């Protein structure tokens, strides 16, 4: 009995079985890895975008804007499939006083445009805009669309 070339008694036919199992395992693992990598790529290539909106309010008017969103605007957003991820106000950043922040999730930029156009055409929203013109609460709105990175937990 020698150790050279796996020449134990009985190992001559078994080594081909072991090599076959190893090769089959490698191929199966490669296919699974390839499949998982493809799933990640599909998610990263999604058209989904997020919209960050920052409302800079007239000093002291942030509570009025917050109330408007709570009572009216949030319902109109939902009515027009504008999906709000969340609303925020500054907790301890003096430079962010008089700001109201919210984020929306859209299936795509095209879907966002379609939904915003529908909301702007809504008579209920036009009444909100008219009210804003008479009792000004907002000085400026910053809005930007963002796409998630391939490593982002939120996609």
Instruction: Give pLDDT tens digits for 93-140.
Output: 888 999 999 999 999 999 999 999 999 999 999 999 999 999 999 999
| 51 burial type by CB count under 10 A (0-12 exposed, 13-18 middle, 19+ buried) | buried
Q: How many residues does this entry show for the chain?
A: 155
Tens-digit pLDDT profile for residues 15-65: 455 545 655 555 566 555 555 555 444 444 589 999 999 999 999 999 999
Tokens 């930029």 found at: 109
Instruction: Give the predicted TM-score (pTM) of the model.
Output: 0.69
**Does residue 44 contact residue 151 with C-beta atoms inside 8 Å?**
no
**Does residue 154 contact residue 103 with C-beta atoms inside 8 Å?**
no
């Amino acid at each position: 009995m020698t150790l050279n070339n796996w020449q134990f008694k009985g190992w001559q036919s078994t080594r081909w079985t072991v090599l076959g199992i190893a090769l089959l395992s490698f191929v199966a693992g490669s296919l699974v890895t390839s499949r998982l990598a493809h799933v990640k790529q599909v998610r990263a290539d999604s058209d989904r975008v997020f919209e960050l909106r920052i409302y800079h309010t007239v000093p002291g008017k942030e509570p009025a804007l917050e109330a408007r969103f709570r009572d009216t605007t949030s319902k109109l957003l939902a009515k027009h499939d504008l999906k709000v991820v969340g609303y925020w106000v500054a907790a301890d950043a003096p430079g962010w006083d008089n700001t109201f922040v919210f984020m929306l999730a859209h299936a795509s930029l095209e879907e966002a445009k379609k939904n915003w156009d529908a909301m702007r055409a809504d008579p209920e929203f036009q009444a909100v805009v008219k009210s804003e013109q008479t009792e000004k609460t907002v000085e400026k709105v910053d809005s930007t669309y963002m796409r998630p990175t391939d490593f982002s937990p939120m996609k």
